[in-house]
Structure 1
């Protein structure tokens, strides 16, 4: 992974097919990716203008989370087809596409730092919408998006 950017490492870890928890964990913060494996730890700077939002839509069960952990967070809807729309507070649609959740039940998106708005996920006639914000104290792990 030495040749990968921080963004590429986040994506590789989040999209890993490994069963959670994994040996290598990545805590995704607004400004850093904190990697840990056993007693070893490493902090990598995140891109200045991009914020990683990891979203786990659910039907019946979820978990509390603030900073996404690629090595331990596990969502309910694994490898599931969904449609995702992310719209900023000023009405700009920055994501509008079909996606497949990863083996950990999450889908990750790079969105502009300093923005806010809503995330809407739909699947099989059910949908849910939650707010998001991408400031330096905001959550990178969205586990409150219930499909109803």
Structure 2
């Protein structure tokens, strides 16, 4: 197998021995699975066209320029920010049912996601990854930053193609996918001659929103 023409930036050296997968755990990578979970509330937004109700933290949203954005827009906006421009005083994470925000002043806000949509952020990797369940829009980092990845997703039940095409990973190394809620599917990602496949689910409230286990080999 030939190496990609432009090697992944986080690629580990293989001199002196065989290549091996290295798993690096960022200091805050698991924070979203602990500190923010108590914010989860019952119920989802009725649609994505209006700003959903906020569980406190109106000033938090205003100070970060998010007061007029709905949950869909907040997620897309924060995911697409260059890493150097990401707010240092804000933690924003996505569960299966909501986007949750907390700042260093202790203020919290939660906005339910649309009932028919599920957000999955995917960080395919070649050499290094981190463990994650619920995606942090402000702190999660993937190996393959600003790389063109071919994405294909097929519904396991119907055989229909849910997602297909070339996507460029954001500066944080993730590709964000808005998917139908209530499905299981097979996701395949390809980088040149490297490819990997993973099973995903958008059915349960504890389904992961951060896929970091899809290795390209």
**Superposed pair shares fold, TM > 0.5:** yes
Larger radius of gyration, structure 1 or 2? Answer: 2
Checking the alignment, whether the CA contact within 8 Å between 1:23 and 1:71 is kept in structure 2 is no
TM-score scaled to structure 2, two decimals?
Answer: 0.66
TM-score scaled to structure 1, two decimals?
Answer: 0.96
Equivalent in the alignment of 1:75:
142
- Higher relative contact order by CA 8 Å / sep ≥ 6: 1 or 2? 1
Equivalent in the alignment of 1:42:
109
2:188 is aligned with 1:120: yes
Root-mean-square deviation (CA), in Å?
1.2
Equivalent in the alignment of 1:85:
152
**1:129-140 counterparts in 2 under 5 A?**
129-135=197-203, 136-140=205-209
Which 5+ residue runs of structure 2 have no aligned equivalent? Answer: 1-65
Equivalent in the alignment of 2:76:
11
Equivalent in the alignment of 2:97:
31
The aligned length equals 148
CA distance in 2, matches of 1:18, 1:36: 18
Q: Structure 1 residue runs of 4+, over 3 Å off?
A: 19-22
Question: Higher helix share goes to which structure?
Answer: 2
Equivalent in the alignment of 1:102:
170
Question: Higher strand share goes to which structure?
Answer: 1
Map Cα deviations across residues 46-96 of structure 1 (whole Å, 9 max, x no partner): 111000000000010000000001111100000001100111112111110
